[in-house]
Structure 1
Amino acid sequence: MASSVTAERAATGWLLQPALELRPVDPDHAREALADVAASAAENELPRLAGLLAKDGEVQRFLAAVFDLSPFLRDLARRRPQMLAALLDRTVPERLEAIGSEIEACWQGEGVSEAELMKRLRLLKTEAHFLIALADLAGEADTQATVQRLSVLADGCVRAATAFLLADAHRQGKLKLPDPSDPAHGSGLIVLGMGKLGAHELNFSSDIDLILFFDHKAVVGDPMEATDIFSRLARRLVRIMQDRTEHGYVFRTDLRLRPDPGSTPLAIPVEAALTYYEGRGQNWERAAMIKARPVAGDIEAGEAFLKELRPYVWRKYMDYAAIADVHSIKRQIHAHKGHGEIAVKGHNVKLGRGGIREIEFFVQTQQLIAGGRFPELRGRETVKMLSQLAGNGWITAEARDALASQYWFLRRVEHAVQMVADEQTHMLPEDDEGLERIAHMLGFADADAFSRAFRASLVEVERHYAALFEAAPELSTGMGNLVFTGDVDDPDTLQTLHTLGFQRPSDICRVIRAWHFGRYRVTRSAEARERLTELTPALLEAFGKTRRADEALMRFDEFLSGLPAGVQLFSLLQSNPALLRLMATIMGAAPKLAAIITRRPHVFDGLLDPALLSELPDRKYLAGRLSAFLEGDRAYEEVLDRLRIFAAEQKFLIGVRLLAGSIDARRAGRAFSDLADLTIGAALDAVTAEFEVRHGRIAGARVALLGMGKLGSQELTAGSDVDLILLYDHDPEADESNGGKPLAPAHYYSRLTQRLIAAVSAPTAEGVLYELDLRLRPSGNKGPVATHMEAFRKYQRQDAWTWEQMALTRARPVAGDDGLCAELAGEIAAILAQPRDAAKVRREASDMRKLIEEEKPPRDLWDIKLVPGGLIDLEFIAQVAALTGKFTGKPGTTATADILAGLAPDYADAGMREELVRAYGFYLAITQIIRLCLTGPFDRDDVPPGLSDLLLAVTDLPDFSVLEAELKEKAATVRRDFDSILRGRKK
């Protein structure tokens, strides 16, 4: 198809057919300009081109308009008509590809001097520049293709110049290159393209921003010499690229984005650069590094350098203070560049309000916030990242589409402005004729039509930008005095605080004065105190609505007292009113979550993810997050610490979803259990790898972790311990491991299990991962901590007590060798399917329940686990059913709710099943909330109002007295059903 199109175009004598109709501003001048170019073609002995230009048709009218609208392109065509003649035989893409190949090779060959290289690069770049502009104006290439072509052109020119300079330094004996025929490879010279070059978004008359780093160890022995050698090379590179000669220039080149350009050499050692960025790097430099890309020199070394910089650029925790800092640069740009109201004439398309820079800042700031946690948001290209941000829920689809459309429109305007005279400008003309010229270049009927479209574009960009950055959180008006200066309470302020809901306003004044006087580390900086001053009204209003305002604010005060800095937090809360409300709810209703935030402030960062409340924390989601969090080679201790950090953060975020109502109690239980599976499984992997370094492996070794109790039934709460059994298997002939310190199998796995217990349960600076309980293993605390698979099988089939087999109904392989886990699941199913004396099982279960009541009586009605008719009754009903063949559901089911729903009709009739399932859901909802919010037992006489509200919300009941009545009724119903099923008593 493409070849037939080319043949058809060739028949017309021209291979660039305009898809857009351009109209000149001055038709007479346009005809004269075309005639001048035709005359030049004749003088240069290009009769085919001269003849074509002398005709009248669509192509000729297009070229006449181009030459009228762009004096720059007209002069190029007049001086070098050969560039136009090339399109008689080749399409623009074909000729650009050929030019690219010539650029890549232009440094090669015997006797190529620097002057000759400069000439070749300038001639080739000029032709490519000319053709790219023609194709853009003709509509053969859209703006995205144009910026890509310009960037590829710049890449090639920089690569060729760099290769020449490296080869020349090798010839002079200043460098010792590994492969002189491919100078860049292994040279240690890193040439990073920054800004629009790095993003493949170069504009028509753009500078190219480069930074040069080098690894002196690669090709130079003395580091002092290396700095001098590579800095001279950098200076020559700039000269080759930008010095104006009779043939023009290649690209204006700027090296000022390097670290501390006023006091550093033009090329900087890698070690020095990393030290700078990690210790002194500025936030604007982080933003700049988003688009950094190795464009020349040692590409592999460049990629490795950027990988080293990832932790600096992509911080793990979302950083709103950094965003505010970057945003201040934008305000400075406005101040220094005459930022004002939206206009058309003289408007700066790049820096003006609603301009290209606002779209770039819109994207880059979101990337800085979230890129540390979401690698998919680390791309360089603006429009692609708009799409990714929308896909991740950070911006709306409407914002994505609007900003993407306006970005390409504004880039087209920018190109038109620059194509007129090849000037590095972003300003629309001030005069009517100049504006009319731009309008015609863009295909508009006149300047008025263009002005309307341009102004609409700026307004739309500004609307999205302002919504993101410049909308202050709304605070209620008429709040009253809030004065916290001096040492004496302001009477009106005390009244305001009382009106807001604070019972001890004088104490609150004292606390807030402590903040503003900088008595905590968090408020010692002037900027932090300024941010807190702005935030205080909204903070007090939010805490006042918790109905336990004094306690909430005191917990917040405790939180602040332990923070090292506060600017980020205060910026975050001020820019996110919903987040402030959630903080107040946690401080007022959930002391346990408040304690987590106080100990680990960084967990709060996860709340900034806009997808948090819509994205379910299922196993796939958690596994992906954990994999990203553990990415890279890490020391054993660091892995264990990162597991603790990850688990603490995710427990908190699961809890927040539960508080917000985006997941129910059942889903929370599964999420807490999936989190435990994954993190304990990762700990097992780390422990095993570390153990094998010293003790080696046992032939045929396999390990599986069996989750018991609430982990096995996937009903963990925020505060649950974890019940586990470690099982192992190996070749029967294996008598010891093959490491430097061999161990017999039983000893090997006993030691491995003890290591796992320590890895998971031992407190570190990051706390405890989980408290492990291994007492459900065969023989309990008297037996070995690790159990051979065959011993487990034999014990469970021959020696296990009824209560142990009841516990086995909740058993589930959670980590370890897949084959052994599958075998274990099959073995458990077979054990549970064994024939049993059902009456005996029911009797022993009933006796056990009676013993528990005697030895551990419930505290009160709210001791939901132990109260007669509480959770234990329900669990026993389900376990006995699973053990005696009275469960009709899917084999391998361990969840209590699912087993209750699938009870056989001759075990529990339909009405009883419904009662039991509803009671279990009711208990589970209450238990999950209480365990999430409280560190100790539930005290009926001291229920935080916020917590009572949460309990009413999850149970859908109108007030607390009704909740208590419902609890009593459910307990009585469950106890009657328990007695009927397990004790044979009639209801």
Structure 2
Amino acid sequence: MGRDAVADGSLWFGAPVLVLKPVDDDEAAEALEMVREAAEDAQCARLCELLGSNTGLTGFLSAVFELSPFLRDCARRNPHALEALFDAPADERLKTLFERIDASAFAEEQTESGQMKALRDLKAEAHFLIALCRLADVADTATTTERLSLLADKCIRAAVNFLLLDADRAGKLKLPDQARPAEGSGWILLGMGKLGANELNFSSDIDLIVLVDPHAPAIIDAYEAIDLFVRLTRRLVRILQDRTEHGYVFRTDLRLRPDPGSTPLAIPVEAALHYYESRGQNWERAAMIKARPIAGDLVAGESFLKELQPYVWRKYLDYAAIADVHSIKRQIHAHKGHGAVAVRGHNVKLGRGGIREIEFFVQTQQLIAGGRFPELRGRRTVIMLKELACCGWIDEEARGALTRQYWFLRDVEHALQMVADEQTHTLPEEDDELERIAHLLAFDDAEAFSEAFRESLRLVEQHYADLFETAPQLSRGVGNLVFTGDVDDPGTLETLSELGFERPSDMCRVIRGWHYGRYRATQSAEARERLTELTPALLEAFGSTRRADEALLRFDAFLAGLPAGIQLFSLLQSNPALLNMLVSIMGAAPRLAAIITRRPHVFDGLLDPALLSELPDRAYLSERLETFLAGAQIYEEILDRLRIFAAEQKFLIGIRLLTGAIDSARAGKAFSDLADLTVESALEAVVENFAGRHGRIAGGRVAILGMGKLGSRELTAGSDIDLILLYDHDEDADYSDGQKALAPSEYYARLTQRLIAAVSAPTAEGVLYELDLRLRPSGNKGPVATHIDAFARYQRNDAWTWEHMALTRARAFVGDRALIERVEKEVHDILALPRDTQKIRNEAAEMRRLLEEEKPARDVWDLKLVPGGLIDLEFIAQVAVLTGNTPSESEATATSEVLSSLSETFCAPQARQELVDAHHLYMTLTQTTRLCLEGGFDPDEAPPGFADLMLRQTDLPELGILQAHVEETAGRVRRLFEELVGPVV
């Protein structure tokens, strides 16, 4: 935040305020006027006068309201929040609000609904003021995170105190001191993550672990204590996170508790201690570094953490524990030196060079050294960076750089979340939205911000990689590696075992085969020499995958198919990031490994240094496809080139998803854009080739309607594509004008069959896409090509409900522009037809029941078919469209977009958000699974590296927690399905 300040901000903030620049001056003036009108209605005279004047403070506010619709709406809903600043500056007003939050639990005859309203109103005003202070630059980022954490502490404590007093009045507890209800209550609430570290985000969830001491003075019956506090914890979550007309307080997450899939929400202290001491994982030790008693019985909470110290802070760290810390580290890769990083769409928290890399390094060093150095046991990231430097674990340059970048990235994170109060960490892809973020951060424009952001990521990435390479006790030299002769070297077998290989003798035999030149890639002496130099790094890298033998065998199969090896071995040796990426593929993604084994040329795309910095959007893919097809004239050559191009681009889109350069939604759009473009090129080639023999129909036009996941732009790496081919022609056209004339219906039927062959028939280069035309009118019984008039008549008069549901995802994407426009209008008009809402719901629920009978889910990981899975979400969205419960002007076909636009009369805002979150979770897991595995996900069969990948993408620490999260999500979705559509019986 480097712009000039204006002095008249002292009126409210006690200091000059930063000059912010709006993106659009007219919209800023309009936003300011909206707030002024609200102030006038609320009789806030001083605020009205200020907003009608031309001062630096007014300019600051107009920019804030234009840049942040959320803060603008806060001011409109409660102009008194600003009016109050005329009587006391913001920091004093915040103190007053905190005091009122404390007092809310003790209000006379306070009810639960009254407590909920009080907390929502007070939190909203404090939240608003904390944001204004940061944007005005009168509070730095550290102060802002502390204030946000204190606000959460206060709200949680007030809710806890209210519930304890309520339980006391009901005779369920006997509190020792009603003026301090939490003392001696036995109810322990630990703040975890950023809340525990006093580093909360602007729109963060709060992570809690809830414990109970059944022997506390307030507890009347120790046997009933757990049930009582589980009920109180449920009420606490409802008080904090349920969305009402007054908003919400904090989204609350209890999944960090021990074994969340099988333990109650509130766990006895003794059971928790036993779990951590007997079954606790190193990631849980890392999580406990930030644990802090924040509410309830604080003394009991401190006592619990004190008892847990030997578990968290081990005096002597054995080699197995160090290896486990390595496995935690592997969940976030240091992509050192591999190309630039895209700004648009970058995840500030989890992406390369992001916040998590700084936090993660600090925590792993704390785990290793905290047992011997008590000064390294702190919760706060920046303070611990300073201590690591003092103890000699990092140098001052690294400490200074990481500290500066940490606060810069936290500022970026806050700006992203201030726009709409969303828990997002991803920079926008649209130019105007990126400009908004730049201005919120007081940059002149998006270009200046992007330059600073890229430099920040580069610095973090560099230090992150360097720190792990040089960290004490983390580097380990490779021992004997001798692969000459026919007899296994005992020292080499021992080294391979230490590196993680389970069958070292078999691995020796494989590697000896490389050196014997049995593959084309290793036939030259120079290639074998390069491979010999690379082998130690390869073996260390494969050893880190936790199923090293399988990964090495996949690499061996890859080598066997390579036409040459010198260039690849040289690149891998000079580019560790490329090696890490290849190892990730071999260790986590058997499907991708099989692709590059069968088609080694797709690996060439990884050599593009701009791969991870360029988004694979439609323009990017179109430009490359045009270049790739240039010069191809022969029909068969065009089809082969399309297959080669699609295979390589599917692989490269997958790599971007695998490395975190894009998320699952962006991947779905990219896979769909790729299908659009290649099918369009195939259609053009087919039309020209077909016309050479059969001529053309007078006025003939074709359009293709994409259905299913192609229509909704949610394709995965292995998706088939659903199409309907529609045509039109002049009314008096009887035959085509070619050498072998055909009537229109036969002409377009044969043209469609030719297109199916062009796309789906296997050639030397494989299959472009498997096509499915069963969604056409009358299904497999109907003609493969349909006249647009026949399509319209069928949909209006004969189509079943399921066909109209399918039509909600239809998207015309290829063909004659005029016909495309007519098709889109027909689809829009058909979907807008009046319908019997209850009939639609009943038939959709019955279809879901039949699907469950005919195709039951294999297990909870069968995310499409599982009750409460993707089909439930798709049916909810489709029913909403057909019953007029989405915006009438909307052209959205993507399930996530439809769910996010559900009307409030159909679905409450909180339920709508739960549906959107569930769809995001399912698509993240589905995209990753379809990309990496040949079949579905089986935890017992999938590579451990794949499980690590899923955990990294969902930001969860272990598979059991992810499974519990999926099960909870599916349960919520199924309940909402039955509420919004109907019971599945």
Conserved in 1, the CA contact under 8 Å of 2:845 and 2:984? no
Conserved in 1, the CA contact under 8 Å of 2:632 and 2:638? no
Q: Which residue does the alignment assign to 2:821? A: 822
Map 1:265-414 to 2 at 5 A. Answer: none
CA shift, 1:592, in A, is: 0.3
1:863 equivalent to 2:862? Answer yes
1:564 equivalent to 2:566? Answer no
CA shift, 1:549, in A, is: 0.9
The residue type paired with residue 862 of structure 1 is: W
Q: Provide Cα deviations, 1:583-605, integer angstroms capped at 9, x if missing partner.
A: 00100110000011001111111
Change in CA separation of 1:946 and 1:516 when aligned onto 2, cut-off 3 Å:
same
Q: Which residue does the alignment assign to 1:802? A: 801
1:734 equivalent to 2:733? Answer yes
How far apart, in 2, do the equivalents of 1:769 and 1:693 lie? 23
The residue type paired with residue 674 of structure 1 is: D
The residue type paired with residue 769 of structure 2 is: Y
CA shift, 1:572, in A, is: 2.2
How far apart, in 2, do the equivalents of 1:793 and 1:643 lie? 33
CA shift, 1:514, in A, is: 0.4
How far apart, in 2, do the equivalents of 1:984 and 1:909 lie? 19
How far apart, in 2, do the equivalents of 1:654 and 1:930 lie? 14
Q: Which residue does the alignment assign to 2:906? A: 907
Conserved in 1, the CA contact under 8 Å of 2:717 and 2:931? yes
1:952 equivalent to 2:951? Answer yes
1:787 equivalent to 2:786? Answer yes
How far apart, in 2, do the equivalents of 1:768 and 1:481 lie? 46
CA shift, 1:944, in A, is: 1.1
1:607 equivalent to 2:606? Answer yes
Map 1:188-227 to 2 at 5 A. Answer: none
The residue type paired with residue 597 of structure 1 is: I
SS in 1 for 2:702: strand
Conserved in 2, the CA contact under 8 Å of 1:829 and 1:891? no
Map 1:741-752 to 2 at 5 A. Answer: 741-752=740-751
Q: Provide Cα deviations, 1:152-174, integer angstroms capped at 9, x if missing partner.
A: xxxxxxxxxxxxxxxxxxxxxxx
Conserved in 2, the CA contact under 8 Å of 1:889 and 1:902? no
How far apart, in 1, do the equivalents of 2:568 and 2:786 lie? 49
CA shift, 1:985, in A, is: 9.9
CA shift, 1:524, in A, is: 1.4
How far apart, in 1, do the equivalents of 2:744 and 2:508 lie? 66
Q: Which residue does the alignment assign to 2:849? A: 850
Conserved in 2, the CA contact under 8 Å of 1:846 and 1:983? yes
Q: Which moved more, 1:734-743 or 1:939-948?
A: 939-948
SS in 1 for 2:956: coil
Conserved in 2, the CA contact under 8 Å of 1:703 and 1:820? yes
The residue type paired with residue 545 of structure 1 is: S
Q: Which moved more, 1:533-542 or 1:562-571?
A: 562-571
The residue type paired with residue 832 of structure 1 is: L
Conserved in 1, the CA contact under 8 Å of 2:625 and 2:645? yes
- Which structure carries more relative contact order (alpha carbon 8 Å, separation 6+)? 2
How far apart, in 2, do the equivalents of 1:737 and 1:569 lie? 53
CA shift, 1:715, in A, is: 0.4
CA shift, 1:889, in A, is: 6.8
Conserved in 2, the CA contact under 8 Å of 1:761 and 1:768? yes
CA shift, 1:564, in A, is: 2.5
CA shift, 1:749, in A, is: 0.4
Map 1:89-100 to 2 at 5 A. Answer: none
SS in 2 for 1:739: coil
The residue type paired with residue 954 of structure 1 is: Q
TM-score (norm 1): 0.51
Greater Cα radius of gyration, structure 1 or 2? 1
Q: Which residue does the alignment assign to 1:59? A: none
Conserved in 1, the CA contact under 8 Å of 2:804 and 2:831? yes
How far apart, in 1, do the equivalents of 2:676 and 2:865 lie? 27
CA shift, 1:476, in A, is: 7.0
CA shift, 1:984, in A, is: 6.8
1:499 equivalent to 2:498? Answer yes
The residue type paired with residue 702 of structure 1 is: R
1:928 equivalent to 2:927? Answer yes
The residue type paired with residue 657 of structure 2 is: L
Change in CA separation of 1:867 and 1:633 when aligned onto 2, cut-off 3 Å:
closer
Change in CA separation of 1:878 and 1:700 when aligned onto 2, cut-off 3 Å:
same
Point out where structure 1 has 5 or more consecutive residues left out of the alignment.
1-392, 399-474
Q: Provide Cα deviations, 1:83-135, integer angstroms capped at 9, x if missing partner.
A: xxxxxxxxxxxxxxxxxxxxxxxxxxxxxxxxxxxxxxxxxxxxxxxxxxxxx
CA shift, 1:397, in A, is: 12
Q: Which residue does the alignment assign to 2:528? A: 529
CA shift, 1:571, in A, is: 2.0
**What is the percent sequence identity of the aligned residues?**
69
How far apart, in 2, do the equivalents of 1:708 and 1:583 lie? 35
Q: Which residue does the alignment assign to 1:836? A: 835
CA shift, 1:499, in A, is: 1.6
Conserved in 2, the CA contact under 8 Å of 1:651 and 1:718? yes
SS in 1 for 2:626: helix
Q: Which residue does the alignment assign to 2:275? A: none
Conserved in 2, the CA contact under 8 Å of 1:728 and 1:788? yes
Q: Which residue does the alignment assign to 2:695? A: 696
How far apart, in 1, do the equivalents of 2:799 and 2:454 lie? 59
Q: Provide Cα deviations, 1:516-556, integer angstroms capped at 9, x if missing partner.
A: 00112221121211111111111111111111111000001
Conserved in 2, the CA contact under 8 Å of 1:833 and 1:883? yes
Conserved in 2, the CA contact under 8 Å of 1:693 and 1:739? yes
Q: Which moved more, 1:599-608 or 1:701-710?
A: 599-608
CA shift, 1:482, in A, is: 0.9
Q: Provide Cα deviations, 1:724-775, integer angstroms capped at 9, x if missing partner.
A: 0000000011011111111110000000000000000000110000000000
How far apart, in 1, do the equivalents of 2:828 and 2:852 lie? 30
Change in CA separation of 1:788 and 1:985 when aligned onto 2, cut-off 3 Å:
closer
1:685 equivalent to 2:684? Answer yes
How far apart, in 2, do the equivalents of 1:550 and 1:633 lie? 43
The residue type paired with residue 770 of structure 1 is: Y
Q: Provide Cα deviations, 1:639-693, integer angstroms capped at 9, x if missing partner.
A: 0000000000000000000011111100100000000000011000001110011
Conserved in 2, the CA contact under 8 Å of 1:673 and 1:711? yes
How far apart, in 2, do the equivalents of 1:742 and 1:944 lie? 57
Q: Provide Cα deviations, 1:233-292, integer angstroms capped at 9, x if missing partner.
A: xxxxxxxxxxxxxxxxxxxxxxxxxxxxxxxxxxxxxxxxxxxxxxxxxxxxxxxxxxxx
Conserved in 2, the CA contact under 8 Å of 1:753 and 1:786? yes
How far apart, in 2, do the equivalents of 1:888 and 1:919 lie? 21
Conserved in 2, the CA contact under 8 Å of 1:489 and 1:509? yes
How far apart, in 2, do the equivalents of 1:560 and 1:516 lie? 12
The residue type paired with residue 772 of structure 1 is: L
CA shift, 1:785, in A, is: 0.3
SS in 2 for 1:725: strand
Conserved in 2, the CA contact under 8 Å of 1:721 and 1:770? yes
Q: Which residue does the alignment assign to 1:102? A: none
Alignment RMSD (CA, Å): 2.0
The residue type paired with residue 896 of structure 1 is: T
Map 1:32-71 to 2 at 5 A. Answer: none
How far apart, in 2, do the equivalents of 1:944 and 1:633 lie? 41
Conserved in 2, the CA contact under 8 Å of 1:889 and 1:899? no
The total of aligned residue pairs comes to 517
The residue type paired with residue 970 of structure 2 is: A
Change in CA separation of 1:527 and 1:699 when aligned onto 2, cut-off 3 Å:
same
Conserved in 2, the CA contact under 8 Å of 1:607 and 1:653? yes
Change in CA separation of 1:622 and 1:879 when aligned onto 2, cut-off 3 Å:
same
Q: Which residue does the alignment assign to 2:982? A: 983
Conserved in 1, the CA contact under 8 Å of 2:848 and 2:984? no
1:895 equivalent to 2:894? Answer yes
How far apart, in 1, do the equivalents of 2:524 and 2:875 lie? 59
The residue type paired with residue 546 of structure 2 is: R
SS in 2 for 1:942: coil
Conserved in 1, the CA contact under 8 Å of 2:671 and 2:716? yes
How far apart, in 2, do the equivalents of 1:765 and 1:531 lie? 32
SS in 2 for 1:613: helix
How far apart, in 2, do the equivalents of 1:501 and 1:809 lie? 51
Q: Provide Cα deviations, 1:943-973, integer angstroms capped at 9, x if missing partner.
A: 2110001110111111111000001000000
Q: Which residue does the alignment assign to 2:753? A: 754
1:622 equivalent to 2:641? Answer no
CA shift, 1:890, in A, is: 4.7
CA shift, 1:814, in A, is: 1.6
